[in-house]
Structure 1
């Protein structure tokens, strides 16, 4: 297969993944937007987290909430956990990597807040620990996950929301997470601003 054909194949796979997301996750993403707006209207905040590329998506989401996607609106309260390397490495050196996020949830979270977790593959211990700490604080969790997330998904309660992308390949999963982020932020704007 030549490179052009390979790139075309990736575009085709991405389109199929987008069609799948539209059919299966449009309603759950709308519910996530409603939960987040409910939290924000009660002076809550959205705490985001992930590892690697998912950490980048978590930081991007917090930036969109604080700033904006396309529509002018007041800033929304959002914090990307783990965005400061000094903080993460200090906690990891003293207590272990799995506590890097939990310490931040312990310090920053309140019951009306939402923890938005990104995991493109697997169920990392630090994300599982963050979910447990969020539950201990009385928070709801919204998890955007990938194919191998059984342990992480098993932690969610009936008050939480799972947005699972059961696709093969991290690239497609993270592309769909990005699309979900944009759809989620647009839906939040619609709820807050009445955007058509």
Structure 2
């Protein structure tokens, strides 16, 4: 039992340490504010947000899309958002016909308009299908954000807004990505619908 409580305390300590680093990183906060401002402008212009990730980050993409379409903290009109991770027919068709690397980029090519924006979530910054999606955004002049970690990996050079959080473990990185996602949605709600 003692080792379980030690593991829990160690994980909480790691989470707190990473969040303190995030709290002290003013450059990251400036980059995040610029990304949020562009999402707000896209919504004002009638656009939508497409979101994608793999594994736990796929779940985070769906989580965030749900909060935009439903609500985070207040009753308000729905905001158009879509996780590109949910349609098994599309995912398996593209994966089978074109390869797993194309499962998000091909959806962007078929769905996104010039008014929209893309958010990719990859803890490594090296997820090939996220990189392909970011390359597709470049081809379409579609603004992009990536939530990633450490040095940002290859995604850093492809995304318009690279938000690379601290953290050694994937679990800690994903916790910070959720903080960013909730803050993004909360800020968009406030900008478009006024303060609570």
Which bracket does the TM-score occupy, shorter chain normalised? over 0.9
State the TM-score, normalized to the length of structure 1: 0.92
Q: Match for residue 69 of structure 2?
A: 66
Cα distance between partner residues in 2 of 1:148 and 1:99 = 24
Say if 1:47 and 1:115, in contact at 8 Å, map to a contact too. Answer: yes
Task: Give how far 1:134 is off.
Answer: 1.1
Deviations for 1:164-192, whole angstroms, at most 9, x for unmatched residues?
01321101000000111111111111111
CA RMSD of aligned residues (A): 1.5
Name structure 2 gaps, 5 residues minimum: none
Q: Deviations over 1:62-82 (max 9, x none)?
A: 111101111111100111112
Change (3 A) 1:148 1:92: farther
User: Aligned residue for 2:37?
Assistant: 34
Question: What does 1:112-191 align with in structure 2 at a 5 Å threshold?
Answer: 112-147=115-150, 149-156=152-159, 160-191=160-191
Q: How many residues align?
A: 193
Partner of 1:10: 11
TM-score by length of 2: 0.92
Q: Which moved more, 1:87-96 or 1:170-179?
A: 87-96
Q: CA deviation at 1:30?
A: 2.6
Instruction: Give the CA deviation at 1:112.
Output: 2.0
8 Å contact from structure 2 (residues 151, 164) kept in 1: no
Instruction: Give the secondary structure class of the aligned counterpart of 1:150.
Output: coil
- Dislocated runs of 4+, deviation >6 Å: none
Q: Give CA deviations for 1:90-117 in whole Å, capped at 9, x if unaligned.
A: 1111111111111100111112211101
Q: Residues of 2 paired with 1:161 and 1:37: CA distance?
A: 14
| Structure 1 position 122, deviation (Å) | 4.1
Gaps of 5+ in 1: none
